[in-house]
Structure 1
Amino acid sequence: MSRYKIIYKVTWPNGKIYIGSDLTDSTSYFGSPNPARLEADFPTRESRRLMSVTREILWESADADDAEVRARERDLILSHRASDPAIGYNLVPRPRPASLD
């Protein structure tokens, strides 16, 4: 049985997102969102007492190589603007500047 490589989106209670990849398709892996951004958005004990997050698989492949997974992850982070602090918890890649067209 081959393991799928996946790219997932985690949505936090405030609607912000984190996009990551998992090369092992683990059910328990939820990535490494930026802890400083998370703590700033949930500063009180009460805001941290009960949290539900959702993990959605955005893309999966049984035969992609690791480089393809990383490239697709980068593209999805950019297209979802997950590294924009107003939208998500990814640190990289940095959001593309707005077009001046």
Structure 2
Amino acid sequence: MKVIYKITYPNGKIYVGKDLTGTLNYFGSANSKLIEQDFTAEERRDFTIRKQILWESETATDKEVNLKEVELITELKSNDPAIGYNRWPRFKMMA
């Protein structure tokens, strides 16, 4: 099963990612240094995150999953540094 998931961190920021194998304990490849700077050493000692499956498919191609991932990153604005930890696609501020 191929999935697109959303990780929600204790500060409310999110990360949207994909898993092409449907592995239960895969939590993405968000930049650890980026996340760590938002939490104190004490906060890191007891840390709970939430993983939600936003979309899944048994038949989608890898390309279709990639496109859906970008669509959901953009829709949820998880690439906006104020909202989430995705850094691609690059967030564009609206004028």
* Partner AA of 1:15 in structure 2: G
Contact 1:78 1:96 in 2 (8 A): no
Alignment partner, residue 64 of structure 1: 60
> What is the CA deviation profile of residues 59-88 of structure 1, one whole-angstrom value per residue up to 9, with x for unaligned ones?
000100000000000010011111111111
Residues paired across the two proteins, number: 95
5+ residue gaps, structure 2, are: none
Q: How does 1:25-64 map to 2 (within 5 A)?
A: 25-42=22-39, 44-64=40-60
Give, in angstroms, the shift of residue 36 of structure 1: 2.4
Given candidates 78, 88, 91, the residue that maps to 1:92 is: 88
Larger radius of gyration: 1
% identical aligned pairs: 51
5+ residue gaps, structure 1, are: none
Give, in angstroms, the shift of residue 46 of structure 1: 0.6
Please give the TM-score of this superposition, normalised by the length of structure 1.
0.89
- The Cα RMSD (Å) is 1.0
> What is the CA deviation profile of residues 10-51 of structure 1, one whole-angstrom value per residue up to 9, with x for unaligned ones?
000000000000000000100011222211101x22110101
Give, in angstroms, the shift of residue 97 of structure 1: 3.2
Instruction: Could you list the structure 1 runs, at least 4 aligned residues long, displaced by more than 6 angstroms after superposition.
Output: none
Distance 1:84 1:29 in 2: 23
Distance 1:62 1:48 in 2: 36
